[in-house]
Structure 1
Amino acid sequence: MSRTFRLYYPVLPTIAEQTPHRAVYVGEAEDRCQIFAWNRRTGTTRQLTARRAGTTRAALDPAGETVWWFDDDLAGTGRWQLVDFAGFTGPRLALPETASGRPAGLAMAADGTAVIGLTGERGLTLHVRHPDGSHRVARSLDDYAYVVDVDAAGQLIVVGADPAGADAVTVYTADGEQSAVLAGGQDRRVWALGFAPGTSRLLLVVEADGDYRLATWTPGDGLRHHDAHRFPTEITACWYPDGEHVLVRQDRHAESRLYRVSLATADQAPIAVPTGSVLDAAVWPDGDVAYVWTDAATPPQLCSTGGMALPAEDGAGPRTGAAPAARRRDIWVPGPGGDIHALVTTPADRTGPAPAVFLVHGGPSEHARNAYDPVVDLLVHTGCAVVRVNYRGSSGYGAAWRSDFPAGVGHTQLEDLAAVRQRLVDDGVVLADRTALWGHSWGGYLTLLAVGVQPDLWRLGIAVTPIADYIAAFHGSSPAVRALDRKLFGGTPDDVPERYLRASPVTYVDQVRAPVFLAVATDDVRCPPEPVEQYAALLTRRSVPNRLLRLHAGHEDVDARNHVALMQAVLPFMQRHFDGVRDEGTPIALALARPAG
């Protein structure tokens, strides 16, 4: 029986503010993400893009007349294209006289005036495009930043940067003059979220005293804190159409909660959603709360409080493969920095200790969720227990947990992984000599660091688009990633070289004994492939079993066939080097789909 391994792009459709029956969404065509127009009134859809690399970035002007989509290469560099929603004209360049760049936000005023953020090696450039097609550069910044929003009148532009920086949020006039600066700090981070419909009232989240609070800013009154609405763990929020209420999405302990909040009062009403994770949520112009929901057993579902009608799943095929029965439970384990939360999934048909794969999330400030993950399903099918640890640095557990790195970058997280591993060994859940690590991006980095720093604990490492040499990766990565690294390490490799060296897996390559599977993406600008290839060569020189798989892709790969190739390469490697993995000769089929209805 073929095993269907599906990918999901869990982002809500974008609705036109002035014509809510028109929308665009990311759907599937020939195993790739593409952009589709959706007329909610007639129930019809139309495919707008057919790019070989797939397309995931799109927007719709407020009138619902023009669709924007980003035509990028695998490294993420490209240009915005325009196409009529109704299909009367084909793609045309939005900024024909502007060079390619990386997208850093797109926002539109009520009349369709667009503010476009593009980044290059020197920082952010703000472009303003008017409905008649005329265009000008409003401002250029030297550092990495991104466009948050423009007010309905097109007079105020909000730019976000490092939320802990002195220029966490900056408001510019339409001419590019600085109007206001909202500063953050190490214990007071600030995020801007967007203007209320039809106004210049800006919604923000402020971290203060370990809580996350709502705040607003207006040109006349400045910053106002709404202290009645505070949350102990991370939140994001968006406006209701009335401009007085806010939809809050809270991440807490691997699950999500939604609230309808009144900024004028202390009223805070929970919105009933099933137990699990809300991956995206918004209030649409007609007041309907739309959200993407999932749990460990259910692929992402597009839901709403108003029971919206959904576009047809033309040719999408089956939603899931035949999943084996599994047991899932949460555990809390005492660790060096406090109790560590982990999600443990074990095969229902297996008794006694099992081989275990620690599926390490990336970020570092993401988190493992009570959410459907096809890799978990696949690994349980092979007879392995799957452990997902929300180590220090993970979101959903409060500001103190997210910023706690006392042992240094990477090493703090390894302490927590080791503590959870030991607890599960002591409890007879996993086999002490059969524990492996599997991670993507920063999770892949932790995998490589662990097999070098903790060689006695881990018997196999699978690292997909990882960081192998932090110094080399810094110099080869994009401005956005370099900005994150400077924050993480407290400077550049020239400023604090010893911190980068201590955190780099290549520093410990001579201690690695476990077989290592490595996958790199040829056009990855977040985790460049060359240092990983050099790391593989060092393993080969020391006769450590390893395999290097090169995928023609960028860091965020939306080509389903690459994921098939990865799984078809990883599983035989595991079966060869990790005793106890079942091989039932099950072929893997893979498809990609938007959230299901």
Structure 2
Amino acid sequence: LAWDWSIDGHNLLLCHSYRTQQQLYTFNLQTQTLTKLNHPPGVYERSIGPFGTFAHFLPNNNIVALWQSGTQSSQLIELDRRTGEKMHTIVGPETAVSARPWQSITYTSSDGTLIQGWLAVPGGTGPFPTILNMHGGPHYQKRSIFDPDVQAWLDHGFAFLSINFRGSTGFGDAFKSQIWGNLGHWELEDMVAARDWLVENEIAQTNAIFLSGASYGGYLTLWGLARRPDLWAGGLAVVAIADWVANYEDATDAMKGAFRMWHGGSPAEVRERYVNSSPATYLESISAPLLVIQGHNDTRTTPRQMEQFEAGMKASGKQIEVLWFDAGHGEVSAAETIAFHEKQIELALDILKRH
């Protein structure tokens, strides 16, 4: 992607993203020379300045970028125009944060497809209790960003793997659209294969692997518990979808359009697909404890369908707790964010004590 022109019009700033990892280049239009920049590894974000631009050239042709990595929180940095090396931090945290790094890993799913993920492990020797995390979207990707929530899990002795399952962006259109018409199928195959990889590589304790995720990742958390209840110690879902039909009925028109694309039609046209892909359909199979954090005013992952799911779980004697907040799709205060994350860690530790 072309991100910017230099002030003199002679150079382009380019970004190549491959399997979630970014590489910046400059291209000189006069000499037709492409230069690979030796910049710090990590994520170069949007949203510098009032118009939300990408990394761009300064008047002196150096590059200004909003950057972060697994061990460095977001900061505005200046890169040398010739080499890409970091010159200095323009705006950043006052104190350095002690954090453990991400490692990019790959594993093979059930059909031979290569799946990429980001792994972080605590100090000490494994296997560890482990969080298997699925991002939202589904058409999104997990990158090597600084994540305080992940660092908190590591501080409590958990390994953490976030996977770019089928449906993620950055791996080609076929990879992204393979889930359409059968939501949950290929994603679950990739989740199960990730679990196998974690166990085979002695990273995860077999009986201490928890599912977690928000939005579509919250849906996959419920889905995994319902469809493969034998594999997981518990589930930690945020703004999740349990019932695709009820969620469609209460969603905004924009979201209904997305749901029709993913399922291949509306519930009136392909109701069976919506029902077959809903965790609520398989509620009786769920055996692991589940914590859900949900918004009363959410128009993407709507409240009514979660209220019905919670009632059904409790009527069936399942262990579920739903924490409600008075906002939309995950828009909570810093205090609520901390409290909710503490609750997730407390539940996971309590489950481990019982095993």
Query: Is TM (by shorter chain) over 0.5?
Result: yes
CA gap of 1:541–1:340, structure 2 versus 1, over 3 A, is same
**Which residue of the other structure, out of 114, 117, 133, is the alignment partner of 1:339?**
114
Q: Relative contact order, CA 8 A, sep 6+: which one is greater?
A: 1
**Which residue of the other structure, out of 237, 240, 260, is the alignment partner of 2:26?**
260
**Which residue of the other structure, out of 273, 283, 294, is the alignment partner of 2:56?**
283
Structure 2 equivalent of residue 490 of structure 1 = 264
Spell out, residue by residue over 1:376-425, the C-alpha distance to the aligned partner (whole angstroms, 9 max, x if none): 10111111111111111112223332222288212211101101111221
One-letter code of the match for 1:251? S
Measure, in 2, the Cα distance between the counterparts of 1:491 and 1:504.
15
Structure 1 equivalent of residue 206 of structure 2 = 432
Match status 1:358 vs 2:124: no
**Which residue of the other structure, out of 323, 326, 330, is the alignment partner of 2:104?**
330
SS of residue paired to 2:55: strand
One-letter code of the match for 2:123? A
**Which residue of the other structure, out of 270, 275, 281, is the alignment partner of 1:501?**
275
Match status 1:528 vs 2:302: yes
Query: In 2, are the aligned partners of 1:518 and 1:536 still within 8 Å (CA)?
Result: no
Measure, in 1, the Cα distance between the counterparts of 2:141 and 2:322.
27
SS of residue paired to 1:578: helix
SS of residue paired to 2:171: coil
The CA RMSD over aligned residues, in Å, is 2.7
Structure 2 equivalent of residue 590 of structure 1 = none
Shift of 1:580: 8.7
SS of residue paired to 1:388: strand
Measure, in 2, the Cα distance between the counterparts of 1:344 and 1:377.
12
Match status 1:249 vs 2:40: no
Shift of 1:239: 4.8
Structure 2 equivalent of residue 187 of structure 1 = none
Measure, in 2, the Cα distance between the counterparts of 1:444 and 1:264.
50
Measure, in 1, the Cα distance between the counterparts of 2:307 and 2:34.
52
Shift of 1:514: 0.7
TM-score (norm 1): 0.53
Query: In 1, are the aligned partners of 2:153 and 2:345 still within 8 Å (CA)?
Result: no
**Which residue of the other structure, out of 26, 32, 35, is the alignment partner of 1:269?**
35
CA gap of 1:264–1:470, structure 2 versus 1, over 3 A, is farther
Give 1:89-238 correspondences, 5 Å limit: 235=1, 237-238=3-4
Query: In 2, are the aligned partners of 1:516 and 1:547 still within 8 Å (CA)?
Result: yes
Identical-residue share of aligned pairs (%): 29
Structure number, greater radius of gyration:
1
Measure, in 2, the Cα distance between the counterparts of 1:559 and 1:551.
10
Structure 2 equivalent of residue 455 of structure 1 = 229
Query: In 2, are the aligned partners of 1:468 and 1:532 still within 8 Å (CA)?
Result: yes
**Which residue of the other structure, out of 379, 385, 388, is the alignment partner of 2:153?**
379
CA gap of 1:467–1:319, structure 2 versus 1, over 3 A, is farther
Shift of 1:571: 2.1
SS of residue paired to 2:268: coil
Q: Which of the two has greater strand per residue?
A: 1
Structure 1 equivalent of residue 79 of structure 2 = 305
Spell out, residue by residue over 1:80-108, the C-alpha distance to the aligned partner (whole angstroms, 9 max, x if none): xxxxxxxxxxxxxxxxxxxxxxxxxxxxx
Spell out, residue by residue over 1:136-169, the C-alpha distance to the aligned partner (whole angstroms, 9 max, x if none): xxxxxxxxxxxxxxxxxxxxxxxxxxxxxxxxxx
Structure 2 equivalent of residue 510 of structure 1 = 284
CA gap of 1:556–1:289, structure 2 versus 1, over 3 A, is farther
Structure 2 equivalent of residue 574 of structure 1 = 348
Q: Which runs of 5+ in 2 are unaligned?
A: 47-53, 81-86
Q: Which runs of 5+ in 1 are unaligned?
A: 1-234, 582-597
Structure 2 equivalent of residue 180 of structure 1 = none
Aligned residues: 340
CA gap of 1:343–1:407, structure 2 versus 1, over 3 A, is farther
Measure, in 1, the Cα distance between the counterparts of 2:37 and 2:133.
31
Measure, in 2, the Cα distance between the counterparts of 1:568 and 1:533.
23
Spell out, residue by residue over 1:551-590, the C-alpha distance to the aligned partner (whole angstroms, 9 max, x if none): 1222142521220221232222222223499xxxxxxxxx
Structure 2 equivalent of residue 295 of structure 1 = 69
Shift of 1:533: 2.0
Measure, in 2, the Cα distance between the counterparts of 1:566 and 1:352.
27
Shift of 1:288: 4.8
Measure, in 2, the Cα distance between the counterparts of 1:392 and 1:245.
36
**Which residue of the other structure, out of 364, 379, 402, is the alignment partner of 2:176?**
402
**Range with greater deviation from structure 2 (354-363 or 334-343):** 334-343
Measure, in 1, the Cα distance between the counterparts of 2:158 and 2:89.
39
Structure 2 equivalent of residue 8 of structure 1 = none
Q: Which of the two has greater helix per residue?
A: 2
Shift of 1:264: 8.6
Query: In 1, are the aligned partners of 2:180 and 2:263 still within 8 Å (CA)?
Result: no
Shift of 1:480: 2.9
Match status 1:476 vs 2:250: yes
Shift of 1:283: 2.1
One-letter code of the match for 1:371? I
**Which residue of the other structure, out of 189, 192, 197, is the alignment partner of 1:423?**
197
TM-score (norm 2): 0.86
